[in-house]
């Protein structure tokens, strides 16, 4: 077994050691405190992966990994909930009912990949733009999930996200907005400043793995407008005095750092959330790409769905706004995809 990389991740008051292992035929990504007993496989507490090549032990340790909110109690949902598949290769992302988002793990791969099941295709702003059907599937041991082949029945693929046809979720109004040229220029300056603060290597020489946020087959980032989603959120209730800021115009930007920022009344952009991993080295960086912004759980506020990638493996995460404190928190992460 070899350690591919490790890094510290800070979120609120919690610091977690994140280690990616490769051993046997399975990748293991740990994002919580973990312990390996003598003779036991190292267990990935966040993704349900382990380093054992034994399918029986892999299944057992995967069950022990169902520690994310909602996993043990809610399983994979039922006919009253809406199931969500990430963008290609369309692995399980989450399921929702009204006002709640539930995390899932690889146990949902089998029931969510049945042939002839119909799914709604959804665009970046939560609008249903078509319908697709699973044609066939094959088990991919490395990812501990199913590769599926699809047929587009009508419309388009949208952003690549898929929502089950059953469940109560209905498309919300779009929250897209268009900034002025000066506001977009200010956003570009802020992003450049953040990159130079976080990214160790000179951006003109940085080697990013081909993935979301990059031009296919090159090491160049996509233009800012192609890795940015600009959106509005309703004003939040404020009980404290003096009342804190209540911004309504936001941007989420991909690249070597994921940024969520709001527009201040004086036309400055203020970062309200960030994700950056491996940016302090001179080798491979994670890349991030916003996929969609819309109200997934119908609570009146949009969520952010983004993809993170290291080239050989990737996943997608849902960020939800804590409206009491304007904090963006991770509420669901997909089963991991891989081309290894």
Distance CA 113, CA 149 (A): 10
Residues making up the chain, counted from first to last: 340
Which is higher by pLDDT, 241 or 56?
241
Burial-class residue 142 by CB neighbours within 10 Å (0-12, 13-18, 19+).
Answer: middle
Q: What is the mean pLDDT of residues 212-219?
A: 45
Q: Is the dihedral of CA 145, 149, 154, 158 positive or negative?
A: positive
* pLDDT computed for residue 285 by the predictor: 62
Residues 66 and 59: beta-carbon distance below 8 Å: no
Q: What is the pLDDT of residues 58-88, one digit of tens each?
A: 333 333 233 333 343 458 988 889 999 999 8
pLDDT tens digits, 135-173: 999 998 877 899 899 999 999 999 999 999 988 899 999
| Residue 228: Cβ within 10 Å count | 21
Burial 190-206 (b: 16+ CB within 10 A, else e): bbeebbeeebebeeeeb
SS3 201: coil
Q: What is the pTM of this model?
A: 0.75
Choice between 256 and 22, residue whose per-residue pLDDT is larger: 256
Residue 265 pLDDT exceeds 60: yes
User: What residues contact 278, with CB distance under 8 A and at least 6 apart?
Assistant: 5, 7, 284, 285, 286, 310
pLDDT of residue 87: 93
C-beta separation of 292 from 305 below 8 A: yes
């Amino acid at each position: 077994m070899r350690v591919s990389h490790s890094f510290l991740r800070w979120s609120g008051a919690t610091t977690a050691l994140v280690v990616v292992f490769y051993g046997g035929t399975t990748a293991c990504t740990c994002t919580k405190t973990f312990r390996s007993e003598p003779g036991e496989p190292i267990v990935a507490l966040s993704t349900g992966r382990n380093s054992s090549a034994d399918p029986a032990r892999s299944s057992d340790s995967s069950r022990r990994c169902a520690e994310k909110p909602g996993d043990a109690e809610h399983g994979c949902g039922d006919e009253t909930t809406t199931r969500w598949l990430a963008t290609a290769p369309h692995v399980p992302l989450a399921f929702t009912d009204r006002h709640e988002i539930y995390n899932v793990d690889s146990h949902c791969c089998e029931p969510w990949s049945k042939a002839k099941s119909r799914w709604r295709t959804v665009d970046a702003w939560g609008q249903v733009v078509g319908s697709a059907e699973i044609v066939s599937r094959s088990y991919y041991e490395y990812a501990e999930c199913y590769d599926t082949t699809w047929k587009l029945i009508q419309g388009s693929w949208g952003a690549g996200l898929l929502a089950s046809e059953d469940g109560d979720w209905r498309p919300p109004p779009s929250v897209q907005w268009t900034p002025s040229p000066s506001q977009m220029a200010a956003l570009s300056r802020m992003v450049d400043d953040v990159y130079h603060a976080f990214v160790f290597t000179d951006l003109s020489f940085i080697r990013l793995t081909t993935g979301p946020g990059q031009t296919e087959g090159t090491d160049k980032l996509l233009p800012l407008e192609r890795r940015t989603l600009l959106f509005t959120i309703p004003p939040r209730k404020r009980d404290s005095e003096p009342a804190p800021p209540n911004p309504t115009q936001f941007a989420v930007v991909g690249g070597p750092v994921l940024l969520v920022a709001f527009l201040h009344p004086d036309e400055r952009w203020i970062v309200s959330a960030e994700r950056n991993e491996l940016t302090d080295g001179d080798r491979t960086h994670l890349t991030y790409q916003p996929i969609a912004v819309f109200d997934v759980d119908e609570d009146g506020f949009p969520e952010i769905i983004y993809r993170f990638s290291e080239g050989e493996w990737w996943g997608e995460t849902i960020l939800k706004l804590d409206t009491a404190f304007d904090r963006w928190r991770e509420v669901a992460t997909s089963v991991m995809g891989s081309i290894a």
